[in-house]
Amino acid sequence: MSPDDRALVDRFCDMLAAEAGASRHTLAAYRGDLAAAAAVLGSLGAADAEALKALGGQWTALAAATVARRSSALRRFYGFLVEEGLRADDPSDGLPRPKVKRPLPRLLSTEEVAAMLSDAAERAVAGAPLARRNHALLELLYGSGLRASELVSLPRRSVRRSDPFLILRGKGEKERLVPISDAAHRAIANWLDGADDSPWLFPGGRGPLSRVRLFQIVRAMAARVGIAPERVSPHVLRHAFATHLLEGGADLRTLQALLGHADIATTQIYTHVDSRRLVELVNERHPLARRHRGESD
């Protein structure tokens, strides 16, 4: 990437961080996509519509989701240049717009999660420190719907026995309230009772537990109760949290807040999980349905 392009990308990323609250991971992703485009175009700042249209032809071997992400990054980049008066025109109309079908999340039943929790709780009673830690990890993953990165980065002081929730800085550096169940509180207290002093709730080596290690722990816990390990991950447990809440009657707006989704469209993926229950909900709760049954409001 040329020095001129690098300067433009730096200004663009400064804007994303200041105005959109983009995380360092998001900024790194933007930089990577723009650098990949610059390697083909030669110059980001001077590229015209024809060059960008030809760029789409260079991406034919890439997955649709990758093409969509790179196109989105370039559109936002050139929109920024126009807004800042750094370009008179926006050449991004020629970029491809592939249709990306969002994959449905893998699901665990309530019985399967209950089996994992029951096994983890029984092992924690035996008193082994790692068993107590694993039980607390599982209670938080499923009971609060945390992302893996959010869980492993929790400071030790973030969970207080007197508070039914914690304030979490999640994706995009946005803060949200995360409820903590009584079972999770008990599991965490059991884990911390006698645990080594550390600034992290779940330490691992010289810093917090790594996401890779968390992934391994969760899969091992699944295997112990007869669940195929490839079906389970920290993110699958987050999906289970959302799915089972929706099945229990939670509305999408509440679910959006609990999961920390910026856009409710992201949360709507969970409406597929129990369409029969949603139809029954309309038939039972809608005023017209009650009138048809002869009930008063």
- Secondary structure (DSSP) of 30-44: HHHHHHHHHHHHS-S
Instruction: Give φ, ψ of 178 to 5 degrees.
Output: -120, 120
Q: Is residue 238 flagged as an active site residue?
A: yes
Mean pLDDT rounded to a whole number for the chain: 81
Q: Are residues 134 and 267 in the same domain?
A: yes
Locate tokens 């409710």: which residue? 264
Q: Are residues 223 and 148 in the same domain?
A: yes
The reply to whether 222 falls in a domain is yes
Q: Are residues 23 and 168 in the same domain?
A: no
Q: Are residues 69 and 146 in the same domain?
A: no
Instruction: Give φ, ψ of 169 to 5 degrees.
Output: -100, 105
pLDDT in tens, 154-200: 888 887 777 777 777 656 566 777 888 888 889 999 998 877 788 89
Residue of 185, 219, 238, 239 marked active site: 238
Q: Is residue 286 flagged as an active site residue?
A: no
The reply to whether 292 falls in a domain is no
Distance CA 236, CA 253 (A): 21
Q: Are residues 266 and 233 in the same domain?
A: yes
Q: Are residues 182 and 251 in the same domain?
A: yes
pLDDT of residue 262: 63
Residue of 133, 147, 185, 239 marked active site: 147
Q: Is residue 147 flagged as an active site residue?
A: yes
Percent above pLDDT 70 for the chain: 82
Q: What CATH number corresponds to the domain at position 131?
A: 1.10.443.10
Residue of 171, 219, 239, 244 marked active site: 171
The reply to whether 284 falls in a domain is no
Q: Which of 42, 68, 94 is the last residue of a domain?
A: 94
Q: Which of 39, 63, 94 is the last residue of a domain?
A: 94
Q: Are residues 268 and 135 in the same domain?
A: yes
Q: Are residues 34 and 140 in the same domain?
A: no
Q: Is residue 31 flagged as an active site residue?
A: no
Instruction: Give φ, ψ of 3 to 5 degrees.
Output: -60, -40
pLDDT of residue 267: 64
Q: Is residue 270 flagged as an active site residue?
A: yes
Residue of 76, 169, 213, 235 marked active site: 235
Q: Which of 94, 119, 139 is the last residue of a domain?
A: 94
The reply to whether 286 falls in a domain is no
The reply to whether 177 falls in a domain is yes
Q: Are residues 127 and 215 in the same domain?
A: yes
pLDDT in tens, 56-82: 788 888 888 888 888 888 999 999 999
Q: Are residues 218 and 131 in the same domain?
A: yes
The reply to whether 102 falls in a domain is no
Q: How many CA atoms lie within 13 A of 238 on its CB side?
A: 19
Q: Is residue 239 flagged as an active site residue?
A: no
Q: What CATH number corresponds to the domain at position 50?
A: 1.10.150.130
The reply to whether 165 falls in a domain is yes
Q: Which domain holds residue 15?
A: 3-94
pTM reported for the whole predicted model:
0.58
The reply to whether 103 falls in a domain is no
Q: Are residues 47 and 79 in the same domain?
A: yes
What domain count does the chain have? 2
Q: How many CA atoms lie within 13 A of 166 on its CB side?
A: 23
pLDDT of residue 292: 56
Q: Are residues 201 and 147 in the same domain?
A: yes
What are the start-end ranges of the H helices in 42-179? 49-58, 64-83, 110-125, 129-144, 148-152
Residue of 30, 78, 142, 270 marked active site: 270
